[in-house]
Amino acid sequence: MAKVTIDGIEIEVEDGTTILQAARKIGGDVVPPAMCFYTPLKGSGGKCRVCLVKVTQGSTRDPRPMPKLVASCITQVQDGMVVENTTNEDVLNARKGIVEMLLINHPLDCPICDQAGECSLQDLSYEHGISGQRFEEERRTFNKVDLGPYIQLHMTRCILCYRCVYTADQITEKRVHGVLGRGDAAEIGTYIENVIDNDFSGNVIDVCPVGALTDKTWRFKNRVWFTKPMDAHRDCPTCSGKVTLWTRGEEVLRVTARKDQYNEVEEFICNTCRFDKKEVKDWTIEGPRHIDRGSVISANHYELPVVNVPIVPNLPTSTKKNLPQE
Amino acid sequence: MGLKILTEHINVPGIETLEVYRKHGGYRSVEKALKTMSPDEVVEEVKTSGLRGRGGAGFPTGMKWSFLAKPEGVPRYLVCNADESEPGTFKDRWFMEKNPHALIEGMITSSYALGANTSYIYIRGELLFVLRILEKAIAEAYAAGLLGKNILGSGYDLDLHVAPGGGAYICGEETALLESLEGKRGNPRNKPPFPAVKGLFACPTVVNNVETISSVPWIVNNGGAEYAKVGIGRSTGTKLISASGNINNPGVYEIELGVPVEEFIYSDEYLGGIWKGKQLKAVVPGGSSVPILPANLILKTAAGEDRLMTYESLADGGFVSGSMMGSGAFIVFDEDQCIVRNTWNYARFYHHESCGQCSPCREGTGWMEKVLHRIEYGHGHQQDIDLLVSVAKQIEGNTICPLGDAAAWPVAAAIRHFRDEFEWHIKHPKEATAPGAVYRGQLDTVTA
């Protein structure tokens, strides 16, 4: 076990835990954002650099601070480590800089993007970005690419987190897409023009933090915030069959895997569940899905209030938002 | 003339053949090390010698070797980094082309010291002709029993392979090199784990530069203490310098560390002064990724002492008024060279060579290049200079590998020392974009 202090909060975690995981155990504001790290995917992380934190004390044995900011998603905690995240000016400035970098070639087409409302980059730029824009050069653009009947790739929006590459490596039998090219010309692509075709290919849509990989059965059907997420399941021979249905009225507009508060899927689901079962009668509905964060839906829960949350009627909305959610 | 450790016999005709190389004392270190020394004794000699990595970082080689993890039953590897692609650096190419056996001898001795039974030379893809020279030399060494099973009857086995890269600058970064050598995309790895623990094929690995490895035979033959006598302080031994730019005698020079920079530039033994007797404007002392220094700061440190060709002296003053030894690519600019254009050229290189894995470098290098391009072609704004400084700062230190730093430092340093030149470009776009135009104001009053 290792004792680690993050932003003044002490927690004891198992050896080998990363700083990010330790912070997630604490929860709340001390959790660094993560764009490329994805717990279910081995080897992910370290690329986007938005989770950089300052280690002011390496460990009890070696109390020297780490010279550079470190990526919290891949740095393991040591006993006695002291980490500064939101309390360190350098960290916040570096993060601002990186958000700016992520956005300079991003098309900012949120109004027509299907991911809008549940986009990690949107959240990130609201929470950590700067309001202005200093980049006045021409943006890098790509053509849209069809990756088979279900998935569309809109490379211009991609932030090269490599999550879809790891997913294809670890969930599916054969990966046919990868990163081609280098620098800001690097792109996700298949070589040569290929179709991502296997039972679990749809999961790349779920892991994509931005709107680069979208579900063609859902594209432009509706906005996320108009739909209601419902937990549902079915007997599926290939996967667990536990999904979230995104419905409007009686219509099932979209099926996704169930995601936790960090937008990470709990169980990967198969393409049949995701793309073919779009009728309410296909599913056993369990009830409304609690969306914690990572989606605009978390802003106005329609679920019944949980009993132990005190209902304070006359508070301004901005204060209500900060009430405990459990 | 100083002591020549690496280049003593380099101009002997036929030195690239085993026969001539052995006639001039070649492979003596292999015999000495394998027959009379234990691997640890070789490591100790290298430690005593104070030899530092010649690829750019200048990390003590002996210490690096002693960090190598040695778990039971796991193979260890020595990888020679011959992916020399830093703009301005050409020493390794020249050295391998002329004297391939010196590198092979170094590889055998070093592999023995590290207990590696398979070693690789990862060579830059563009250097296909050098690869052929090396392969020929390796074949000769195999035939003479210097490689393969039971080398010289000592019971030590070593297989040496040459692997060409695909022509990416990033594969000169050691972990990207290892990825590439494994047959993957050359993306740098996150560290830790360091290669000394988990390198090639997840086994403990040491990655060393060509020049570093080629220095080992001399150290084994003559002793580490003898090597440490050459040079000044912690900068021991000799260093190959690739000199280029506006000088009378460009080329590769082997210098004893500690030669004053002024002597190095102006003496006839070395660079022979500035071309056509012009005035010195600036020097990039260690390859395109190190900070550029104006004439007054390269000859004397900010404290007024003579600057020497050593790791410490070139770095004197930190990033405010110093630079770095880097890989020893000494690029000289005379008064007719435009710093803005040169900075743009470097930025263009790093933009092209960024692997695109982590966001600050992927996006920032392109951004800096575009802004510098604008300034160079007369479309800059006054706030662009501060923008460049800020972007460079956002990249520096926040990336996975040092390429981000290497891209940020030259831009930041050029603006630090030549800000008035950038301002002139922005204020007078017409004059600045005229053919051959160059800013000449305050040439000798540039300060830190």
Domain boundaries, chain B: 18-230, 238-334, 339-433
pLDDT of residue A303: 52
- Measured between alpha carbons, how far is A182 from B352 in angstroms, rounded to an integer? 8
Q: Which of A225, A237, A211 lies closest to A151 in space, CA to CA? A: A211
Q: In the CATH scheme, what is the homologous superfamily, with its name and number, of domain B18-230? A: NADH-ubiquinone oxidoreductase 51kDa subunit (3.40.50.11540)
In chain A, the N- to C-terminal Cα span, in Å, equals: 28
d(CA B448, CA B441): 16
Strands (E) in chain A, as ranges, are 2-6, 9-13, 52-57, 70-71, 81-84, 145-146, 151-153, 177-180, 187-190, 213-215, 228-233, 242-248, 251-257, 284-288
**CA nearest B156: which of B119, B117, B120, B118?**
B117
The total of other beta-carbon atoms located within 10 Å of residue B336's CB is 14
CA B215/CA B107 separation, integer angstroms: 10
B442 pLDDT band, cuts 50/70/90, is: low
Distance (Å, rounded) from C-alpha A71 to C-alpha A51? Answer: 6
Interface contact A184-B190, CB threshold 8 A: no
- Which of the four pLDDT bands, split at 50, 70 and 90, describes residue B439? confident
| Alpha-carbon distances of A285 from A109, A148, A266, B330, B397, rounded to whole Å | 34, 30, 18, 71, 50
pLDDT exceeds cutoff 70 at A47: yes
Give the whole-angstrom CA distance, residue A147 versus residue A193.
8
The model's pLDDT over A93-125, given as tens digits with 9 standing for 90+, comes to 999 999 999 999 999 999 999 998 889 999 898
**A182 with B393: Cβ contact below 8 A:** no
Residue B165 reports pLDDT greater than 50: yes
Q: What percent of chain A has pLDDT over 90?
A: 62
**Residue A153 forms beta bridges with which residues?**
A145, A213
A97 in contact with B, Cβ within 8 Å: yes
Cα-based torsion angle of the residue sequence B237, B240, B245, B246 in order, rounded to the nearest 10 degrees: 60
Confidence of residue A302 (pLDDT cuts 50, 70, 90): low
Give residue B167's pLDDT band: very low, low, confident or very high (50, 70, 90).
Answer: confident
Between helix B210-222 and helix B39-49 the angle, nearest 10°, is 100
pLDDT for A253: 93
> Helix or strand or coil: residue B221?
helix
pLDDT digits (tens, 9 = 90+) for A238-281: 999 999 999 988 899 999 999 988 889 999 999 999 999 999 99
Rounded to whole angstroms, the Cα distance separating B314 from B301 reads 8
The answer to whether the CB of B12 falls within 8 A of the CB of B246 is: no
pLDDT at A299 over 80: no
In the stretch 119-178 of chain B, residues with CB closer than 8 A to chain A read 168, 170
d(CA B280, CA B330): 13
Confidence class of residue A319 from pLDDT cuts 50, 70 and 90?
A: very low
**Is pLDDT of B113 > 90?**
yes
Give the mean pLDDT of A29-34: 90
Predicted TM-score of the model (pTM):
0.91
What mean pLDDT is predicted for residues B175-186?
A: 94
| Partner B contacted by A48 (CB < 8 A) | yes
The pLDDT score that the predictor gives to residue A287 is 87
Q: How far, in Å, are A203, A258, A261, A263 from residue A292 at the CA level?
A: 21, 12, 5, 9
- Tallying the residues shown for chain A, one arrives at 326
Q: Which residues contact B256 (CB under 8 A, 6 or more apart)?
A: B2, B3, B230, B231, B237, B238
Which phi and psi angles does A305 have, rounded to 5°?
Answer: -60, 140
Residue A63 contacts by C-beta under 8 Å, 6 or more apart in sequence? A57, A80
Is the peptide bond preceding residue A310 cis, with omega within 30 degrees of 0? no
Alpha helical stretches, state H, chain A: 19-26, 89-104, 120-128, 163-171, 203-207, 271, 317-320
Q: Which residue of A has its CA nearest to B192?
A: A75
Which chain B residues have a beta carbon less than 8 Å from that of A46? 190, 358, 400
Q: What is the band of B431 on the pLDDT scale with cuts at 50, 70, 90?
A: confident
Residue B444, pLDDT score? 42
Q: Is A261 helix (H, G, I), strand (E, B) or coil?
A: coil
CB-based contact, A62 to chain B, within 8 Å: no
CA atoms within 13 A on the CB side of A266: 12
B390 burial level (CB within 10 Å; 0-12, 13-18, 19+): middle
From the list B185, B366, B397, the residue facing A184 with the nearest CB is B366
What is the strand order of the sheet A2-6 is part of?
Answer: A9-13, A2-6, A81-84, A52-57, A70-71
Scanning every residue of chain B, which has its alpha carbon at the shortest distance from the alpha carbon of A70?
A: B398
CA distance B5 to B219: 9
Distance CA B400, CA B56 (A): 17
Please tell me whether residue B108 adopts helix, strand or coil conformation.
Answer: helix
Name the residue in chain A with its Cα closest to that of B348.
Answer: A183
Distance from the Cα of B131 to chain A's closest Cα (Å) equals 25
B-chain residues near A137 (CB < 8 A): 367, 370-371, 374
Query: Both tokens of residue A281?
Result: 């009668």
Q: Comparing C-alpha atoms, which of A292, A120, A102, A110 is closest to residue A207? A: A120
Q: pLDDT at residue B123 above 60? A: yes
Residues A157-213 pLDDT 10s: 999 999 999 999 999 888 899 999 998 899 998 887 888 888 899 999 999 999 999
Instruction: Quote the distance between the C-alpha of residue A18 and its chain's center.
Output: 18
Predicted confidence band of residue B144 (pLDDT cuts 50, 70, 90) = very high
Q: Where does the pLDDT of residue B446 fall: very low under 50, low under 70, confident under 90, or very high at 90 and above? A: very low
Rg (CA), chain A: 21
Sign of the dihedral through C-alpha B324, B326, B328, B330:
negative
CB contact under 8 A, A97 and B359: no
Phi-psi region at B201: left, alpha or beta (left = phi > 0; alpha = psi -120 to 50)? left
Quote the CA–CA distance of A6 and A57 in Å, as a whole number: 11
Per-residue pLDDT band for B443 (boundaries 50, 70, 90) equals very low
- pLDDT above 70 coverage of chain A, percent: 90
A316 pLDDT above the threshold of 80:
no
CA distance A110 to A105: 14
- The fold for domain B238-334 equals Ubiquitin-like (UB roll) (3.10.20)
pLDDT value at residue A98: 93
Residue A320 has what pLDDT? 47
Among candidate residues A75, A81, A83, the one with its CA nearest the CA of residue A37: A75
Choose among B168, B359, B370: nearest Cβ to A101: B359
Residues of A within 8 A of B362 (CB-CB) are 101, 160, 183-184, 186
User: Tens digit of pLDDT for each residue in B231-267?
Assistant: 998 999 999 999 999 999 999 999 999 999 999 999 9
Q: Which residues of B touch A104 (CB under 8 A)?
A: 363, 367
Share of chain B above pLDDT 90, in %: 87
pLDDT mean over B75-86: 94
d(CA B3, CA B1): 7
Architecture of the CATH domain B339-433: Up-down Bundle (1.20)
Q: Determine the Cα–Cα distance for residues B35 and B107; give it in Å rounded to an integer.
A: 16
* Chain A touched by B370 (CB under 8 Å): yes
| Close Cβ partners of B26 (under 8 Å, ≥ 6 residues apart) | B18, B101, B102, B105
List, in order of start, the domains of chain A with CATH numbers: 2-93 (3.10.20.740), 224-299 (no CATH)
Structure tokens at B5: 């450790």
What is the 3-state composition of chain B as percent helix, strand, coil, each rounded to the nearest 5?
45, 15, 40
- The answer to whether residues A49 and A98 touch, using CB atoms and an 8 Å cutoff, is yes
Quote the Cα angle for B73-B78-B79, to 5°: 135
Q: For residue B387, which residues of chain A lie inside 8 Å, CB to CB? A: 134
What does the block give as tokens for B402? Answer: 């040092």
Chain B residues with CB under 8 Å of A45 CB are: 190
Report angle CA B253, B206, B111 to the nearest 5 degrees: 85
Q: How far is CA B424 from the centre of its chain?
A: 33
CA distance B357 to B399: 9
Given pLDDT bands bounded at 50, 70 and 90, which one contains residue A293? low
